[in-house]
Amino acid sequence: MNANEIDYQIFGEEMQYVSIELDPQETVIAEPGAFMMMEDGIQMETLFGDGSQENTGFFGKLLKAGTRVLAGESLFMTAFINTQNNKRKVSFASPYPGKIIPLDLSTLNGKVICQKDAFLCAAKGVSIGIEFQRKLGTGLFGGEGFIMEKLEGDGLAFLHACGHVIEKELATGELLKIDTGCIVGFTSTVNYDIQFVGGIKNTLFGGEGLFYATLTGPGKVWIQTLPVSRLAGRILAYATTIRKEEGSILGGIGNLLDGDGNR
């Protein structure tokens, strides 16, 4: 194996974190800001890129880091190295309510394509790059743009998603239609495309957008029940709405009159 062989355990329900156990000299890489806690003896080091191309020279690293910027990620990643002679643990937390998804890339044909902000951490040796959507319609209307993130290698990687996560195994030719924002990731054998909803009433009044994604097997897909953009939109709408019980003479009665009493 090229990637470090790490052990892990996931804790929590709504706000999860993953605890990774490192053998001596083993390393895990993570997104900046994902770190939660670590035991004494683990050394933290900032890497230019993902650390998977140590022998490619400066320009190779620059190109690798640049692709991460296109994917909406930082130029740098953080490596956590066990410098002791015994096992040590380091933990990483999900940035919003949801689930952490462990992926053993060696059992997934060595490649998983995911939404741009889904990556949390991985064993050193896993490559984090970008995946271009070659179809014009998919890039324009697929909800993820022309660029998605790809994880390649033979080690463990961890994604995070909002809400509950469903894992589905698609048979050859099996088609799944899904809201574009609910896609977390899929294996490289799955064909990703978009499809027009169709129908004037559906288009004008359906409230589900003009397009949905289609995923065609064979392969595995991971689906989230609550896209973080939808969660952010609901929070923003609530935060910018003046509640009648806040400073109003009517108080809670005002909410009952306008239908907000049960919210």
pLDDT digits (tens, 9 = 90+) for 229-249: 777 777 777 777 655 544 444
* Phi, psi dihedral angles at 45 (to 5 degrees): -140, 135
Task: Please check whether residue 244 lies inside any domain of the structure.
Answer: no
pLDDT digits (tens, 9 = 90+) for 157-180: 999 999 999 999 999 999 999 888
Domain span at 100: 7-163
Higher pLDDT, 190 or 57: 190
CATH at 148: 3.60.160.10
Task: Please check whether residue 38 lies inside any domain of the structure.
Answer: yes
Q: What's the CA gap between 201 and 37, in Å, rounded?
A: 52
How large a percentage of the chain has pLDDT more than 70?
A: 69
Task: Please check whether residue 198 lies inside any domain of the structure.
Answer: no
CA nearest 148: which of 205, 104, 213?
213
By the 10 Å C-beta count (0-12 exposed, 13-18 middle, 19+ buried), 186 is classed as: buried
pLDDT at position 183 over 80: yes
Task: Please check whether residue 159 lies inside any domain of the structure.
Answer: yes
pLDDT at residue number 55: 52
Task: Please check whether residue 134 lies inside any domain of the structure.
Answer: yes
5 pLDDT band, cuts 50/70/90, is confident
Domain count, the chain: 1
The set of residues, in sequence order, having a beta carbon less than 8 Å from that of 194 and lying 6+ positions away, is 137, 138, 141, 142, 180, 211, 212, 213, 214
Task: Please check whether residue 108 lies inside any domain of the structure.
Answer: yes
By the 10 Å C-beta count (0-12 exposed, 13-18 middle, 19+ buried), 191 is classed as: middle
pLDDT at residue number 211: 73
